[in-house]
Structure 1
Amino acid sequence: GEAGKGFAVVANEVKELAQETAKATEDIAKRVLAIQGDTTAAVTAIEEISQIVAQISDRQTTIASAVEEQTATTSEMSRSVQEAAGGSGQIAANITSVSTAADSTTQALTQTRTAVDELSRMAADLRTTVGNFTY
């Protein structure tokens, strides 16, 4: 009778709780699977990002090496230009010295010409004077 009805009600409640527990367990299992999928996707994305960062690092190293090499080349070019400028200055100084020497030579030649003209005149005078002597 009455006890059987009470037992049936309790049994029904236990059955409903068991069904709810089964549904909750299934829901939890689905959520765990979803979280696992999301975690796997996140790990994959992190690995891809890590590879990209490594590639960027490699490229930065390559760029840094190229910049260092370019800096060395530019420094060498600058040194060469400075040497050329120094050489040009030396050439200009040498040209000035040659020009000064040429001016001095021109003055000396003018003086020599004057002396030769004077000697020529003196020789002519001497010839005239010697011609006046009789033997």
Structure 2
Amino acid sequence: MFVYLAWPQENWIVQSALDEAGIKYFEVNGKAEAKARTKLLDRFRASKDMFVCLLSNVGMVGLNLAFANIMIIVDNLWSQQEYDQLIGRVWRHGQRKEVIAYYLITKDTSDVFFSNVSLDKGYMHMVLTAKSGALSKWRRLTDYTVY
């Protein structure tokens, strides 16, 4: 299981809960160089008693995390594409395990607003890049005049 927190200095919140529950964990963030991160992930994958890895923004690119199948996203991301990129680290084509992503959004906070902005941006991207019926109709109704 991976727990995404954008800012490693905030990991103490999750760390204290894991410590209190007696759950061992790894931490992978930008403090470690790329080779060290790879070694940490190899240790995490091989571990028989550590099932949680705290992951910062370094987990969004260049890492194959498909040996896990749960992603808990604590911090909001700015766009749906970033969510897709992060979850795509865990889900890969041909993977047999179901991937489960949890988004922690606190009611009555700015988290709700930012989450909706990300989802709306994702929907707009999908509509503008997909060949949906709505987009096809829009294309026929627009004369593409450049000003």
**Larger strand proportion of the pair:** 2
Structure number with larger C-alpha Rg? 1
TM-score norm. by structure 2 comes to: 0.17
**Larger helix proportion of the pair:** 1
TM-score norm. by structure 1 comes to: 0.18
Highest relative contact order (Cα 8 Å, sep 6+), 1 or 2?
A: 2
